[in-house]
Amino acid sequence: MKLDESPEMNAKLDTYMTWAATKLIFDFDVYCVVMFKIPNKFRRLAALRGYLRFQAAGKDFDDVWAWSSDEIKAFKGSEEQKTAKAFIDKVRSAFDARSEMSAKSYKLVARAKPRSLEEQIKLWNNNGSAKTIGKKLWDFVDNKLAEYPDTPDLPSVESFVKMITEEAKNLPAATNATPGLSAHGHLKAIDFHVTQNGNKVLHSGGADYWRSTGADDALKAAVTTVNNNSGRKVFDGPLKSPDEPWHYSYIPAEA
Ligand SMILES: [Zn+2]
């Protein structure tokens, strides 16, 4: 029987997911709050996999975890935000000044605004790839979980973790960051968009359109100009995997 159709197997998977989550080196209460806000079980499984893979890659949750609303409030109007905004404005000016962009009345827009945990969860809940990947992972687990003991023990939990991370490694990552882990959470990334006569014509999506309109090349050139003028790499990108011509890392100056 398909796991999806059996309440017992659903409950078994839930149990294994919870046990696997206790292996994560971040606050279990925070994990539970995030999961509670993801109503779809496939998306929950994909998120758990994202956390486990992040940890398996030797990365530290504290380095990236989304700022709290208090931290975001403190950032608002700070010198750091003003600096970020000034750099973004330089890229915008360099982009808008390019004749091939101004000929089309293209204008670059971007905000120096960190993406809160709430926003990241919302994006995850609306991201199609998170659901598709979660469903595939669910089916993958479905075929194997029947052989696992009903009451998890240490080896079976470890085996479960291995199953959804290493064994399912051919499943791609979702196109949105796992909630809490986005580089946008600490304003270490900027998404640039393009407007034409006040209407947004290029946004986060449609990588091919970014290229065919020439906006991809124009943004690269604008970023290079700003980096050269600043004497250091302020922006790095665009993001290659996933393919996001609009997404650049932002590197604040050393304190
Ligand atoms: Zn982005």
Tokens 């009451």, located at residue:
151
If you average pLDDT over every residue of the chain, what do you get? 92
Q: 188 with 115: CB under 8 angstroms?
A: no
Distance from the CA of 205 to the center of ligand 1, in angstroms? 10
Q: How much distance in Å is there from the Cα of 245 to the middle of ligand 1?
A: 9
DSSP letter (8 states) at residue 252: P
Query: What confidence tier does 4 reach under pLDDT thresholds 50, 70, 90?
Result: low
CA dist., res. 119 & res. 60, Å (int): 21
pLDDT of residue 143: 80
For the chain, give the percent of residues with pLDDT over 70.
Answer: 97
Q: What per-residue confidence (pLDDT) applies to 118?
A: 92
pLDDT of amino acid 142: 85
Cα(35) to ligand 1 centroid in Å equals 22
Tell me the whole-structure pTM to 2 decimals. Answer: 0.85
Mean pLDDT of the region 63-79: 90
Helices 41-56 and 117-126: crossing angle in degrees, nearest 10, is 120
What distance in angstroms lies between residue 51's CA and the mean position of ligand 1's atoms?
Answer: 19
Distance 128 CA to ligand 1 centre (A): 16
| pLDDT at position 62 over 70 | yes
pLDDT per position as a tens digit, 168-216: 888 888 889 999 999 999 899 999 999 999 999 999 999 999 999 999 9
Query: Ligand 1 mean position to 53 CA, how many Å?
Result: 20
Tell me the pLDDT tens digit for each residue of 34-52.
999 999 999 999 999 999 9
CA of 179 to the centre of ligand 1 (A): 13
What is the 244 CA–ligand 1 centroid distance (Å)?
Answer: 7
Could you tell me the distance, in angstroms and rounded to a whole number, from the CA of residue 92 to the centre of ligand 1? 17
Give percent of the chain with pLDDT exceeding 90.
79
* Predicted local distance difference test score (pLDDT) of residue 254: 63
Q: What's the CA-to-centroid distance between 172 and ligand 1, angstroms?
A: 17
Separation of CA 52 and ligand 1 centre (Å): 22
Alpha helices in the chain (DSSP H): 7-21, 28-36, 41-56, 61-64, 69-75, 79-96, 99-102, 117-126, 128-145, 154-162, 207-212, 215-230
Contacting residues for 234 by C-beta, under 8 A, at least 6 apart: 87, 226, 227, 250, 251
Q: What is the pLDDT of residue 170?
A: 84
Residue 223, token pair as written in the block: 């970023």
Domains in the chain: boundaries? 3-64+116-167, 69-113+188-250
Q: How many CB atoms lie within 10 A of CB 76?
A: 10
Closest by CA to 191, choosing from 110, 105, 93, 99, is 110
Distance of CA 190 from the midpoint of ligand 1 (Å): 6
